[in-house]
Structure 1
Amino acid sequence: MLADYAIREKLLMRLHKDNQNKSYRVIEELTICNGAVRVDVALANGVFHGFEIKSDLDTLERLPKQVECYDTTFDKNTIIVGERFVDKIEQHVPKHWGIEIAYLNKFGNVTLKKIRRCGSNKSVEFKSLLDLLWNNELKNLLKDHKIKGYSKMKREDLHLAVIENIPFKSVKDYTRETLKTRIGWRADLPLT
């Protein structure tokens, strides 16, 4: 039976290999939906991609809430499951989610096999993206779009000012790029 750490290690190796010589950041244990859900692995490169891992030792009990929050936050989503869930996972995630199975190959190494390719997610929401940004980052976004009067605004008002004045695509791009390049965030997140 594969545990989360073995699957995660293989996923992280693949993400770093696939993105070498590119601008990207891999973020483990990212909280989304105002802290309601913790993402196993997020990738910010040209898109914002969430990865949920359900090892053979896990349950699918929290998955509905996780799917809901991932879908309001990420451009693409993939679930990686142990062999225990391979026969039933399709009924638990939307059709645009990618599905991979993790198993031990004949050499005793973890293999990740794509069962279904992920598609674009059309359910991303302003609020979920804005929740990921710090107040100074929200103010910089408003400043970059020449919006005035934000300097003493509270967080909720900053959110409203962004929603009312800045196109959604600009907010998606800004959030992804900000998370990709943020400095002084967490010691475990070096710039790559």
Structure 2
Amino acid sequence: MFATKDLEIRAAFHRKKLKRQHSDSQTLVIDELGLMHGSNRVDIAVVNGCIHGYEIKSSKDNLLRFNDQLDTYIKTLQKLTLVVAPNHISEVLELAPDWVGIVLAKKGSKGAIHFSTVRKAKKNPDVDALHVAHLLWKEETQELLEKLGVPSRARRGTRAELYKTLVSKVNIDDLVKDIKVMFETRANWRSDKQLV
């Protein structure tokens, strides 16, 4: 087995597996999306009516933080695909719920990364709208509540209170649509370049 690094898998995945998503003007592809106010990040997020996270585990990575990451991903992502080197496949299959997609990332003898789908991602049955709402900034949450007709006094609470109010007013699909719109309107919040 040839050793792999996160960055080379990520670049190849953007180029080979996310080509269609990058060319779709209705889809956002975001590197290193912070979840639950940055307590964890997912390597790549694809947002288009659904938040699909892709987490990369290269041959040089370890899985010490994986359980903690997985817990966050289960609460916040509607779909999750793990892109893993062969040395992690058995442990990942053992730890990940059966709705989590798994893609094997192998390096060929000439250095190219090859992907093969072990298991396709399905909808996460345990996603929690309250944790998904944490993707919004406080001002964005207040703006959405104003549009929903929530009185101004109820829009002055803590971030946690505002999230609770918001998820009591919208279903998760509408929440994700609102999050996508907010992501699109944010100015200079992502300084890193996409690896296409």
TM-score, shorter chain, exceeding 0.5: yes
Specify which of 115, 137, 156 is matched with residue 134 of structure 1. Answer: 137
How far, CA to CA, are the matches of 2:44 and 2:94 in structure 1?
22
Letter in 2 for 1:186: R
110-119 or 175-184: which moved more?
Answer: 175-184
Deviation of 1:106 (Å): 5.0
Deviation of 1:181 (Å): 4.5
How far, CA to CA, are the matches of 2:85 and 2:65 in structure 1?
16
How far, CA to CA, are the matches of 1:144 and 1:15 in structure 2?
37
Structure 1 residue 49 corresponds to structure 2 residue 79? no
Deviation of 1:154 (Å): 2.9
- 3-state SS, counterpart of residue 87 of structure 1: helix
How far, CA to CA, are the matches of 2:47 and 2:193 in structure 1?
12
Contact 1:145 1:166 in 2 (8 A): no
- Cα deviation, 1:53-91, whole Å, max 9, x if unaligned, reads 111011111111111111111111000111112233210
1:14/1:23 CA distance change after superposition, 3 Å: farther
How far, CA to CA, are the matches of 1:161 and 1:176 in structure 2?
19
Structure 1 residue 23 corresponds to structure 2 residue 20? no
Match of 2:15 in 1: 13
Normalising by structure 2, we get a TM-score of: 0.87
What is the RMSD of the two structures over their aligned residues, measured on CA atoms? 2.0
Letter in 2 for 1:31: G
User: How many residues are aligned here?
Assistant: 190
1:15/1:100 CA distance change after superposition, 3 Å: closer
How far, CA to CA, are the matches of 2:97 and 2:63 in structure 1?
14
1:117/1:153 CA distance change after superposition, 3 Å: same
Specify which of 136, 159, 164 is matched with residue 160 of structure 1. Answer: 164
34-43 or 160-169: which moved more?
Answer: 160-169
- Cα deviation, 1:136-185, whole Å, max 9, x if unaligned, reads 21012112212222443332331232133333332233223423453331
Match of 2:90 in 1: 87
How far, CA to CA, are the matches of 1:77 and 1:151 in structure 2?
32
1:78/1:108 CA distance change after superposition, 3 Å: same
Deviation of 1:50 (Å): 0.6
1:22/1:46 CA distance change after superposition, 3 Å: farther
Uncovered stretches (5+) of structure 2, i.e. residues with no partner: none
Specify which of 120, 123, 144 is matched with residue 126 of structure 2. Answer: 123
How far, CA to CA, are the matches of 2:40 and 2:17 in structure 1?
22
1:123/1:3 CA distance change after superposition, 3 Å: same
Contact 1:26 1:42 in 2 (8 A): yes
Letter in 2 for 1:8: R
Deviation of 1:15 (Å): 5.0
Letter in 2 for 1:98: G
Specify which of 172, 185, 188 is matched with residue 189 of structure 2. Answer: 185
